[in-house]
Structure 1
Amino acid sequence: MAIMRDAAGPVAVKEVGSVLGPPVDVRGKLEPLRAKMYKLADRGWLCKLGDGRFAIAF
């Protein structure tokens, strides 16, 4: 959540992954992170935009 708060706007899963450290070139390495971001969006913490990026839900 701190990465999302520090971002200037909506961020893609790949951008969050590059900050956290898993290799972003391999798609399968980002899938667990993508699933966590979807869960946060389902719980109302994040907002999933139409282009696949996520933003903090206000």
Structure 2
Amino acid sequence: MIPHRGEAGDEAAPPDDYRTILAIVRDAGGPVQVRAVGERLGLDTSARGKLEPLRAKMTKLADRGRLHKRGDGRSTARS
């Protein structure tokens, strides 16, 4: 589970960085690759290894049912 970050706010709401990722995927309007999300976040996408922390966050979101991770490695937002 995503840990509770304080008394205020919705307990089920993910932390800010996860919400930003979700917003980027929703705005894409279709399946997106981790690299495209990284570019929108301003991350260095020149080396695959630099995207691994982002890939892990997107996998966590998929495991929690917030994203759908497709077989081709792209992700889409769940309703």
Q: Does the alignment reach a TM-score above 0.5?
A: yes
Higher RCO (CA-CA < 8 Å; seq separation 6+): 1
Residue by residue, what CA displacement relative to the aligned partner does 1:19-50 show, whole Å, maximum 9, x if unpaired? 00111111111000000000000000000001
Matched, 1:10 2:60: no
- The code of the aligned residue for 2:63 comes to D
After the TM superposition, which parts of structure 1 deviate over 4 Å for at least 4 consecutive aligned residues?
A: none
Q: Which amino acid aligns with 2:77?
A: I
- 1:40 alignment partner, one of 61, 67, 70: 61
Q: Where does residue 43 of structure 2 map in the other structure?
A: 22
TM-score by length of 1: 0.94
CA RMSD of superposed structures (Å): 0.7
Q: Say how many residue pairs are matched.
A: 58
How far the C-alpha of 1:6 sits from its partner, in A, is 0.6
Gaps of 5+ in 1: none
5+ residue gaps, structure 2, are 1-21
Q: For the pair shown, which has the larger CA radius of gyration, 1 or 2? A: 2
